[in-house]
Structures are given as C-alpha cells and as structure tokens.
Structure 1
Amino acid sequence: MIQLRGHHLFCLLGYRGMGYSKEYVVNMTKLHQRLREYPDTVVELVEGPDQLCEKYPNSGEYHCKDQNIYVRDAVILEKLGLKLGEVLPWHDIEHRVKDFVIPSDIQTVCETCNWRSYGVCEEGIQHIIDGKGLWEVK
C-alpha cells in the first residue's frame, strides 16, 4: 500500500522526472512507475507528509508541513470526492480524475504551485481523460 496526500494525486499525473533533488526524483519515479505498471496498487489517503515527502530535501523550511499545502490537499480530495483515510486502488483515482477534473482546473486548484507553469499537470490530466494512464517516465 502507498500512502499519499491529496495534492500528490495531481502531482503524479504531471510527473515527468523532475523534482527537488536527485533522491526525491528517484523516490517519485519509483512510486510513479509502480502506479503506472500496477494500477491495482492500493493507495491510502493521508493527512500531511506521505511517502513522497519522505525524500523532500531539508533546506530549512519544510514545504510538506506548510499550511497552504494542507489546503491544496483538501481542495483536491474534495474535487475528487475522496476523504482522508480512504483506501482505494490507483485506477479508481484515475477514474475519478476522468469523471471530475478538467485540465484547466490546475490553474485554480494549484494556483500557488511552482510546478504549474510547466504545463505538465494539465497534460497529465488530459492523458488520464484520454484513457492513457500515467505518462511513461524513463
């Protein structure tokens, strides 16, 4: 089982191998590939730092405990009709993205995210809507 916080559900959709540090990228790529290859993988929705946060570089201010991140987590879970503590397979999360999200939602839901300007999350959402699953990261 993989533990994920709300906003990381969207981060995984847009993930292309970029990250905060080499260690973070290795961890995220491994988790991303697992979900891509095995969409039956069970995900538990948690509050606060999750398995991706474990490898976030410690540069003084711990991004993963920032109050704005908790707000983004809650907004994304609400958008998907999910609740903290819920346990479900990754493919169910993809179905919810397909049913409840459009690419332009990133502009408001993730308004303060530094990665938004790359446009990869909108592309990732469209990829899910088109039934293609997560992007392949090499």
Structure 2
Amino acid sequence: MNPSAPAIALRGHHLLCVLTFCGHGYTPAFTANMAHIVAVLGSGATVRIVAGADALCAPLTPDCGVEVHCARADVAARDRRALAVAGAALGRRLKAGDSLRFDAATLATLRAAFADGRLRAACTACPWADFCTATAAAGFAGARLRAEPDGDGPDKTVHEPTYSLEHDTPDADS
C-alpha cells in the first residue's frame, strides 16, 4: 500500500457505477480511465467524495464527441440520491468531503443493496440502468471491481491514462 497515494475523487453516482463496471463506457478514453480507476479502487485506494466532475469525468471534454453532462442539474440530483441511498445502506450519512474504501465488507454491502433495489432510486434516467440491472442480476459476473483482501497490496498511485476520442456507448457491442 502506498500511504502517500492521493485519494480518488468520485462524485456520488459514480460510487454506484463502479459496482457494475464491466469494461464499457461512453468513449474508449472514458472506459480506459474507468478501468484504471476501478483497478486502483480494488487495490484499496481511498475514495474522496466530491460534488461535481470527478476523476471518472476527466476524459469527457466538450470535444470528445459525446454530450458532456457532468455539470447538468439532473446529474447533480442523481449524485444526491446516490449518496442518500448508499449512505443508508452503509448506515452512515455520505456527503462531499467524506472518504471511504471499497473493502470487502463495503463492496458486499453496496452490491447487495444494488441487487435488491435499495440503491436503484439513484439510477433514474441513467442510460446505463438496464446494463447495470443485468449485471446485478448475473451476480455481478464480469464486474471488474474486486476488493483486496486485508493487508498491504499493490501501489495505489494514480497514473494519468492516455485518451482517444472514439466512442464506446451503451449501444455499442456489449
């Protein structure tokens, strides 16, 4: 474990997105970035909850070829709903500035709450909702986030990925 590694900044609804991430995203750059971040989170990195755009949003720029929705009011509302339902599942209030880790217990609790529907209020109008429902129904088979067993693990240093502008949307090959 690298104690000096920076925390990964994630907005509220992305706490749920990482639970079902199977390697698909809005663009190849977004997908590569998310794959990297999910791997780092699975190795024990700390999440710092933020309001607004986060580490996963980084590849979504105005010239990437997809709608950049990071600052939309409906996405901020999705973040608030996600923090409320995830916090209820974890038995604590979650808000911007808080930290958490996807250890085995946290991951199991959040995935159970996602699978039984307690977290799904945050997924209203999300274009990925059907994909995530199918992933949860399959027992999260293919989902890449795996909690590291207790103890020291690999280096959690966050490295900047290289971005391209090709598309990989929910309608692309699954």
TM range (shorter): 0.7 to 0.9
Question: Where in structure 1 are there 5+ consecutive unaligned residues?
Answer: none
Query: Which of the pair has more CA radius of gyration?
Result: 2
CA RMSD in angstroms, aligned pairs only: 2.7
Equivalent residue runs for 1:1-138 within 5 Å: 1-36=7-42, 38=43, 40-58=44-62, 59=65, 61-81=67-87, 82-91=94-103, 93-94=106-107, 96-97=109-110, 101-103=113-115, 104-105=117-118, 107-118=120-131, 119-120=133-134, 122-123=136-137, 126-127=139-140, 134=145
The amino acid across from 1:113 in the alignment is C
Measured in 1, the distance between the counterparts of 2:66 and 2:25 equals 17
In the alignment of these two chains, the number of paired residues is 128
Measured in 1, the distance between the counterparts of 2:135 and 2:122 equals 11
The one-character-per-residue Cα deviations of 1:74-123 (angstroms, maximum 9, x if unpaired) are 11111122121102222264255157x24224553212000112234534
Question: Where in structure 2 are there 5+ consecutive unaligned residues?
Answer: 1-6, 88-93, 147-174
The amino acid across from 1:86 in the alignment is D
Measured in 2, the distance between the counterparts of 1:43 and 1:69 equals 19
TM-score, length-normalised on structure 2? 0.63
Measured in 1, the distance between the counterparts of 2:30 and 2:111 equals 27
> Percent identity between the aligned chains?
28
Does the aligned pair in 2 maintain the 1:3–1:44 contact within 8 Å? yes
Which is richer in helix? Answer: 1
- Would you identify which runs of 4 or more consecutive aligned residues in structure 1 move more than 6 Å? none
TM-score, length-normalised on structure 1? 0.77
Measured in 2, the distance between the counterparts of 1:32 and 1:115 equals 17
